[in-house]
């Protein structure tokens, strides 16, 4: 369940990064679109992404010792945190990269939880 929530919130973060600049270009700035760019929105999106990743991925890694799970989750987590110290295009690209890595880690974690098919 946590992995599905992790995929949802990381995808929401990714969509925010992709759609906000496009909407601003197409619609101009207005109160609603300006609010999407506000720092509190980034923090609000970031909080569940990081909490869910920290509460689900380490447990799955300890159970499986899958190196790709650790690599993807660590890269995603670190990249998203680093993105918070940047602004503009760098923040967007780093956040998109981090979100994508965390989505991949949560998908891998889900696949690792599935019971192996018996022949």
* pLDDT one-digit tens code per residue, 7-35: 999 999 888 888 877 777 777 666 666 66
pLDDT band at 113 (very low <50, low <70, confident <90, very high): confident
Question: Given a cut of 60, is residue 75 above it in pLDDT?
Answer: yes
64: enclosing H helix or E strand: helix 39-64
Work out the average pLDDT over 26-50: 76
Work out the average pLDDT over 38-57: 87
Question: Given a cut of 50, is residue 119 above it in pLDDT?
Answer: no
């Amino acid at each position: 369940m946590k992995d599905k929530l992790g995929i949802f919130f990381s995808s929401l973060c990714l969509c925010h990064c992709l759609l906000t600049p496009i909407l601003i270009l197409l619609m101009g700035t207005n109160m609603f679109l300006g609010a999407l760019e506000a720092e509190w929105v980034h923090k609000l999106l970031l909080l569940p992404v990081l909490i869910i990743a920290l509460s689900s991925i380490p447990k799955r890694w300890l159970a499986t010792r899958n190196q790709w799970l650790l690599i993807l989750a660590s890269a995603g987590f670190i990249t998203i945190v680093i993105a918070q110290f940047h602004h503009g295009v760098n923040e967007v690209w780093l956040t998109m990269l981090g979100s994508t890595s965390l989505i991949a880690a949560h998908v891998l974690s889900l696949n690792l939880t599935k019971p192996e098919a018996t022949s």
